[in-house]
Amino acid sequence: MTTRDDRIEISVDDQQISGTLVTPATVVPGVLFLHGWGGTQEPYLARAREIAALGCVCLTVDLRGHAGTEEQKETVTREDNLRDALAAYDTLASQQAVDKEAIAVVGSSYGGYLAAILSSLRPVRWLALRVPALYRDEDWPLPKQQLKKYGLADYRRGRVTPDQNRALAACAAFRGDVLVVESEHDDIIPHPVIENYLAALKGAHSLTYRVIEGADHALSDEKWQQAYTSLLLNWATEMVLGAREEGMAPGVRTHLQPAPRRQPPTSA
């Protein structure tokens, strides 16, 4: 394996000593995790550690209006949180070990919605969307907390096309690999939303769609959490190993292209 030498200075007792950092010259994929509305990065750390063990650099973040900045929850907008996501992406991409052409974004609910839009603003190779949310474009300037007051439930039960929605337009333009995960008994993100995303993603390089049997939106049972972790890790493993194989044998890939219909539920 080839290596790279970087001269560094190490501070000790108000002085500096010289060193040489020897690292593998091969860069690795980067994975950004975006949590849902009302969530934090904490539940995603375990998944990030498992995916990092595949040979990836992972980044989890707390979007504004959450965790340490929860006091902003009533005023933060989608634009604010999109800027958070972009800043996090840029931080991940700037890491020396990260391959800037092999970045994945994993988003749940609101985070999935932001991840979809982010893919139209930054290079994204892999996109994992768990119960991705959908919001009206015209309400963009409103604080996120107010959106449910403007007919959001009805909007999510209808047919929405890429020319009517920014997130779906980004999905329609996306040409990477995608994982879409639905909860069978989701009372926040109904099945029509998932259908809208699947229809928009027809041009993806590969599309994997799974339903977690019996699960609610928040995956409130540990078995549903484990099922999602298993789905995500298996998909990430296939994508990362496939990318490495591409370097040796270009064109050898697995394509999963389900029709945009509800598949039989799975518990794993």
Task: Return the amino acid letter for 155.
Answer: Y
Q: What is the pLDDT of residues 211-222, one digit of tens each?
A: 999 999 999 999
What distance lies between CA 244 and its chain's CA centroid? 21
Give the chain's domains with CATH numbers: 31-246 (3.40.50.1820)
The region of weakest confidence among 140-144, 163-167, 206-210, 247-251 is: 247-251
Query: In the predicted model, what is the mean pLDDT of the chain?
Result: 89
Q: Give yes or no for residue 32 having a pLDDT over 60.
A: yes
Which of the pair, 55 or 117, is modelled with greater confidence?
A: 117
Q: Kindly write down the DSSP assignment for every residue of 73-123, as one continuous string.
A: TTT-BHHHHHHHHHHHHHHHHTSTTEEEEEEEEEEETHHHHHHHHHTTTS-
Pairing outcome for strands 3-12 and 15-24: antiparallel
Instruction: Return the structure tokens found at 252.
Output: 């050898």
Confidence of residue 264 (pLDDT cuts 50, 70, 90): very low
Q: What is the pLDDT of residues 227-255, one digit of tens each?
A: 999 999 999 999 988 887 765 433 333 33
Confidence of residue 79 (pLDDT cuts 50, 70, 90): very high
The region of weakest confidence among 87-101, 113-127, 186-200 is: 87-101
Q: Give yes or no for residue 159 having a pLDDT over 80.
A: yes
Q: Which residues contact 159 (CB under 8 A, 6 or more apart)?
A: 192, 196
pLDDT at 259: 38
Instruction: Return the structure tokens found at 114.
Output: 């932001």
